[in-house]
Chains A and B, each alone.
Chain A
């Protein structure tokens, strides 16, 4: 009477490979493996034949050869005698520089625009909507070119600053906006603790980090005291002092002076020169991605139910504190994941540098080095490797941060 019997242990038949679910997935995977192996063999075979026909081979020794080209915008020492490898490193640093700068400013633009778009003020919210729609719907390449054109074709040349009646003048006598770049004052240490400039900056950073830890400690103590007595001691002035006093002392000891750009001959000298391509790329990426971030911020804030605002208001919090203590901490959880992908987009879009001649990794390794050495495969592979690593690192760091602000659920 038993209705539940095992299927008869039939002998293995060939049709079971297709019809039996136990074997079918294996069959498909074997087929897939064969197809993949065949295509890899086919492509690889073509590659080998093509390389042989062109008399090329795959080798990375060209990275050690002298590059023979110069790079204007650079963070480390480099000249045309340096190797292609060093040019690539200059490019990597430039990519990171513009990506970091653009991430910071895009976040600022995006948060401001996103919050203002929810403003009660009809005119402001409509203006922000127009900003977002205009910048989101026009290719970033066009924005980069537009700002680059402003930098090179609209700003006056250094010559306009010369003479008794110059047509242009420096902003506050400190900043010069010319078509060769923007010049800003450069801090210098007259009697630094070390002879190397970079070590002095490390000291400054160490001091700032120390101040940050100290001010966090003060906050912690204030919270502890508040929990014990109900009174929160005022910490504002103490914190300000913790930040300012050591910093001011350090600056006084190291003898901070400002190297202000001035017109010498045909060009400005002194100060820090920020090239037009860098500014074009930085600013264009910021406003373009800022429009996307604004939408993320708006969606994040709108995702928090109105009851939260009303409950906070019922507790007697003022609007500013409602935003800071109730809405933003919750909205951040919604905002951060898309924000991560926007940062990734900035890093990847910074490769458009090549369109305006900013020497990032795409322009050095993928542009000039590739054209000079003809090592297309090696250069493009290295380029992809760099971007893959950068993408993975950014998502890793941001995921760690995301996990730390995530809602702790049991």
Chain B
């Protein structure tokens, strides 16, 4: 006690010491840099190498893009404008834009038709992609193929109308008969559709397309990126139902149906798409009736659809196999028959599991539509390698054109895969 009074205490803390900031190298951007880029010798070397790579890439491409010429009529003119500087000649894109998008034979005054079809496509696809939209919009989606067909090919409106009529009649028959027996409804619908199409086809006069409101455009005049989009969209939407049928067939316990499906799937998956396109271009016409002419576009659609259906079937088979056995047994014990069990219990779950795989196939298929340029259809790649690079004005403008094609495909494919990831998160019902 005495000590305390004689030796007054030099310092008494009368509050907490304010926390001092962390050392400069343990905070903020410095810490992040240290931890993520320079945490060790190897890491530092890797960082420096990456920076070097990025620098080299930018140094070579940036001036090229920045100095790009957008207005010129030929490569020579571009070079004149650039006057020795490095720079891209993007003028080829602006000057040949219609060719790149619509192909070189599509009538110029009809460009609004594919444009309109494209805008309507966005509207038709939206309710399929986003479940929150009102379900009534699906009616427009169902009508869209006929509208798009009429817009792009033109000619008489009777053709898509009869086709639509057949589908509507088939749907009505299925509603009526399918209540009691799925098989009766299914086969009845097919027969009714065929009858309507046959009758309607006979009623359409030969020269109906003469003087039609929209002038007729033959398939061989389609081209450019439009062709890629049409092939991609048509084949994906056709191959999903076919793929489901094949997957179910492969799981079937009827040996004949099972083996037909297995052989079909394995055969298609074993050969490259090019050979199937060869079949479409040189071989398939031998299998149609002698006096009929089935145009190349349809033949290609048939073969690509078969190709992607085989892959989609395998994806869906994976989804079916992933379902626990109990789901099948539960459906049986409820007294549901096979079509009901599939439609109400199995397929909704199996398809949900398969969505990422199906989207992968769709992206791959869309990329593969470029292969049609090999069988001399003028899609985007075919246009670039054929008419545009061969022209005297633009002979030698490789990078701008190929870069443009690459960019278009990248935007579409990357967009689809981002959508699929969003959908996967959206559909996830399990808890993590």
Contact = CB atoms under 8 A, between A and B. Distances in A.
Contacts of A149: 398-399, 402
Contacts of B255: 29
Interface string B328-352: 0000000000000000000000000
B373 A352 contact: no
Contact of A362 (B274, B288, B370, B409): B274
B367 A29 contact: no
Given A29-B254, A137-B414, A149-B402, A377 B283 contact: yes
A138 B413 contact: yes
Contact of A384 (B50, B254, B275, B406): B275
B29 to A, nearest CB: 12
Contacts of B43: 119-121
A289 interface: no
Nearest to B269: A391
A33 B287 CA distance: 20
A146 B407 CA distance: 13
B382 to A, nearest CB: 10
A28 interface: yes
A391 B381 contact: no
A93 interface: no
Interface in B237-279: 253-257, 260, 267, 269-275, 278-279
Contacts of B324: none
B contact residues, range:
35 or more
- Interface class of chain A by DSSP: helix
A351 B274 contact: yes
B191 to A, nearest CB: 13
A133 B414 contact: yes
Contact of B253 (A25, A139, A349): A25
A349 B283 CA distance: 21
Interface stretch (A47-55, A101-109, A185-193, A220-228): A47-55
B275 A124 contact: no
A387 B181 CA distance: 43
A46 interface: yes
Contacts of A124: 46-47, 50
Interface in A267-324: none
A122 to B, nearest CB: 4
Interface residues of A, number: 52
Nearest to A154: B398
A140 interface: yes
Contacts of A141: 370-371, 373, 381
B396 A380 contact: no
B363 to A, nearest CB: 7
B286 interface: yes
A387 B402 contact: no
* Chain A CB within 10 Å, residue with most, of B37, B285, B368, B398: B398
Interface string A355-373: 1000000100010001000
Given A139-B368, A149-B398, A153-B396, 20 more contacts: A29-B257, A46-B289, A47-B287, A119-B46, A120-B36, A120-B39, A121-B37, A121-B43, A139-B381, A139-B409, A141-B371, A142-B409, A351-B274, A352-B274, A376-B282, A377-B286, A384-B271, A387-B270, A388-B267, A388-B270
20 contacts: A18-B181, A46-B287, A50-B285, A120-B36, A121-B50, A122-B36, A123-B36, A123-B50, A137-B414, A138-B410, A138-B413, A139-B370, A139-B409, A153-B396, A349-B272, A352-B374, A354-B274, A362-B272, A376-B282, A384-B267
Interface of A: 18, 25, 28-29, 32-33, 36, 43, 46-47, 49-51, 53, 119-124, 127, 133-134, 136-142, 145-146, 149, 153, 348-349, 351-352, 354-355, 362, 366, 370, 376-377, 380, 383-384, 387-388, 391-392
